[in-house]
Structure 1
């Protein structure tokens, strides 16, 4: 007995479908065979009667003779049948067996014959309980002599043949069902065995063993499920690695300013320094504190975005003014590397959005461009209309570029192309999510050693466009 489960359900459903199909086919087949046999006998008798009627007027005289009934029996006699001559009331006049029982035939074939058609009746013969078929036809011998010819033939032989055929069909059906059972068990195993393997590996993954993989060349949906789970495990391993790298990186990022703050704090507490040294120490403490605040705010922003808690203050934004402010904020950092910042923008580009958050995006993009650009290079920040409904802000540099392998991952959270440059690896991830909150897109194109271009596509302000 198959235990409860998917295997059992597959086997039972498969057997049920095949059993019902076999039952219908065999029932229809046996009914068709029975009908064929019965109709063949009926057709043979009716054909014999029709042939006899064609010549009856030539064989019998207009006047009744003493041997007329005997001649009628001889003329219409058919092998393997009993011929009875009846009156229109169903009384037996004579029979081909030589017996003349004093009884009246009441089966349905006689009234049908009296009505002018060929009557047919199948049933059990009274007295012998034998299965028989009766075929009756009214025949007019001369102008005033009308009889009913009733043929009676045994159906026992036909029924025995049909019984044997039924048993043979049942045997074949049973053999087919056995084959189906074996086939369905094999089919169920081919489905359930991979699922059991996938379940076992999934249980290992649930315990944190993400290095385990589902092995086996499975096809179709099961193969897709196995591939998806393996991919999920790979992504979890990669995410865990990125998380570990982030923790290591952020620990370093936090420790460096904290070390500076602690060192200068202890130095200043000890006293004995002139005002210039005290001013220098306080400046370093202030700078490192700002750096810590920036790191914490970046992490908090990412947390808000992940939990859909970031609220936007939507208003009309003048893109040119926003980009000018962005360049002013980053100008001092660019000057240290002698990087020239260029702004190319029309005067009448307006969008609806959160100016502070969009400024955060553009600051991050320009800051990255400055960070990875060589000295004495240039960065172009431009804005242009793409269509009547969209505009684009483009940040283009001639820096170190990003490899194709890193380009697809650079917007992933915690991912850093160069960990030595510091940072949390959240800047681009946060920027992309802010852009998506404004119903926009962030696209990146880069070539290693030649530079990078980042394009932010945003919808234009509908009201301003209508005024224009």
Structure 2
């Protein structure tokens, strides 16, 4: 007995489908065989009418229509038997279905049980005329016992073949079900271990079709979870270091200043360091809060009309001091028009601040960073931040926008900057692309829907040094 489960369902479904198919085929086959045999007998009896000469008188009817293995009866139009080729006496009028058919002018056929004996017989009847006016019914009656025995034998043989086919189908369906269920049971077992937190297990075996895809997907999921956990661990380690550094500076200078005995310059320096580290700490916390809001779809945008040129000019002014420390030149190429987009100005500025800040961070001293605005399509505008810095290898190019990912964790940061940037761009129905070549610089392209294009205004701040 097959236990409850998918195996039983598969076997049962296959078995029912094949059983119904075999039953239908056998019924059609047996009906066709029966029809073939009965029609053959009927045609043989009817051909005797066509091949027999009309008798000269009433007494010659039986002898004229005599036929081996068939009884010949001569009936009047009321069904009374007038002559019979056998000694069997019929004392009642014949009222079977072939009589009305013969009286209507066609050849009548009837299959049933012979009255008195209960034997299966076939009767074929036709009307004839003697001397052109006298009408009689000539009726052939033949036994169907031998034919029915042969049909019964054929039925038993076909039923036996059907049973054998069903047994084979049952065995094949069990094997097929096992070939499906065993991999699924294996997948369930491995999935259970994964659900308990063991992500080092993998589904082994090359399974075909959808089951193979399912196994590969689960293995990929486990790999991604392991990778995400590793990234999370690295992030926790990194953020702990990032938080500890400013806190250590704040604590150290606070304790130092509390002890007293410093001149105004030293006190000013200590307070400046405390202020700088506090801003750094606030930046880290805000970055994590932004990421949390984005992950929970809780970031609210204050949408309005934003001039891209003005946003980029403000961005350049905000990072000017940092660029000046490395003698990096910031160049704005605003194009031949003012481009207006529907956006949250502060969040859009956050995007470009992060991109330009990264460009400065990874660019060599005395290099140039370009900010380019150009129309991409009639309803699309592209902002490009291009540097000539260290670039990103192909291996890491697709991963740099992943959360917590850092090409070089030793350089500090949370690994959330580009992930947040990309999600803010997506909230504005835009796209962000990165093109980079190792040691030859990086270009970050932000595509946004264009609301309006205005004629260019005088450029007051094209370069910031």
Q: Report the TM-score range of the alignment, normalised by the length of the smaller protein.
A: over 0.9
| Alignment partner of 1:254 out of 237, 243, 265 | 243
| Contact in 1 for aligned 2:242/2:413 (Cα 8 Å) | yes
The answer to which of 72-81 and 358-367 deviates more is 72-81
Give 1:111 shift: 2.0
Query: 1:400 corresponds to which residue?
Result: 390
Which whole-Å CA distance do the structure 1 matches of 2:411 and 2:41 have between them? 102
Give 1:145 shift: 2.5
Change (3 A) 1:275 1:27: same
| Alignment partner of 1:379 out of 351, 365, 369 | 369
Query: 1:312 corresponds to which residue?
Result: 301
Which whole-Å CA distance do the structure 2 matches of 1:135 and 1:460 have between them? 93
Which whole-Å CA distance do the structure 2 matches of 1:99 and 1:26 have between them? 39
Query: 1:455 corresponds to which residue?
Result: 445
Paired residues, number: 454
Q: Which runs of 5+ in 2 are unaligned?
A: 456-465
Matches within 5 A, 1:427-446: 427-446=417-436
The answer to which of 96-105 and 21-30 deviates more is 96-105
| Residues 1:166 and 2:162 aligned together | no
Q: Secondary structure at the match of 1:104?
A: coil
Which whole-Å CA distance do the structure 2 matches of 1:465 and 1:210 have between them? 56
The answer to which of 378-387 and 439-448 deviates more is 378-387
| Alignment partner of 2:342 out of 352, 357, 381 | 352
Which whole-Å CA distance do the structure 2 matches of 1:98 and 1:257 have between them? 128
Stretches of 4+ aligned residues off by more than 4 angstroms: none
Give 1:100 shift: 4.5
| Contact in 2 for aligned 1:94/1:100 (Cα 8 Å) | no
| Residues 1:149 and 2:138 aligned together | yes
Q: Secondary structure at the match of 1:138?
A: strand
Query: 1:203 corresponds to which residue?
Result: 192
Query: 1:127 corresponds to which residue?
Result: 116
| Residues 1:389 and 2:354 aligned together | no
Which whole-Å CA distance do the structure 2 matches of 1:143 and 1:341 have between them? 126
Give 1:144 shift: 3.2
Query: 1:51 corresponds to which residue?
Result: 51
Of structures 1 and 2, the one scoring higher in RCO (CA 8 A, sep 6+) is: 2
How far does the alpha carbon of each residue in 1:90-138 deviate from its partner, in whole angstroms, 9 at most, with x for none?
A: 1111111145543321112122212211111111111111000011111
Q: Secondary structure at the match of 2:338?
A: coil
Q: Which runs of 5+ in 1 are unaligned?
A: none
Query: 1:268 corresponds to which residue?
Result: 257
Query: 2:234 corresponds to which residue?
Result: 245
Q: Secondary structure at the match of 2:426?
A: helix
Matches within 5 A, 1:229-244: 229-244=218-233
Q: Secondary structure at the match of 1:349?
A: strand
Which whole-Å CA distance do the structure 1 matches of 2:282 and 2:87 have between them? 126
Query: 1:102 corresponds to which residue?
Result: 91
TM-score, L = length of structure 2 = 0.96
Query: 1:338 corresponds to which residue?
Result: 327
Give 1:141 shift: 1.9
Query: 1:78 corresponds to which residue?
Result: 67
| Alignment partner of 1:113 out of 81, 97, 102 | 102
Which whole-Å CA distance do the structure 1 matches of 2:89 and 2:332 have between them? 127
Query: 2:165 corresponds to which residue?
Result: 176
| Contact in 1 for aligned 2:386/2:442 (Cα 8 Å) | yes
| Contact in 1 for aligned 2:305/2:342 (Cα 8 Å) | yes
Q: Secondary structure at the match of 2:128?
A: strand
Give 1:89 shift: 1.1
Q: Secondary structure at the match of 2:419?
A: helix
| Contact in 1 for aligned 2:338/2:454 (Cα 8 Å) | no
**Cα RMSD over matched residues?**
1.2
Which whole-Å CA distance do the structure 1 matches of 2:358 and 2:86 have between them? 118
Change (3 A) 1:91 1:465: farther
Which whole-Å CA distance do the structure 2 matches of 1:146 and 1:350 have between them? 109
Query: 1:368 corresponds to which residue?
Result: 358
| Contact in 2 for aligned 1:93/1:100 (Cα 8 Å) | no
| Residues 1:4 and 2:4 aligned together | yes
Give 1:465 shift: 6.9
| Residues 1:34 and 2:34 aligned together | yes
Query: 1:20 corresponds to which residue?
Result: 20
Which whole-Å CA distance do the structure 2 matches of 1:461 and 1:103 have between them? 105
Which whole-Å CA distance do the structure 1 matches of 2:90 and 2:436 have between them? 113
How far does the alpha carbon of each residue in 1:382-412 deviate from its partner, in whole angstroms, 9 at most, with x for none?
A: 1111111000110001111000010000000
Give 1:72 shift: 2.1
| Contact in 1 for aligned 2:391/2:439 (Cα 8 Å) | yes
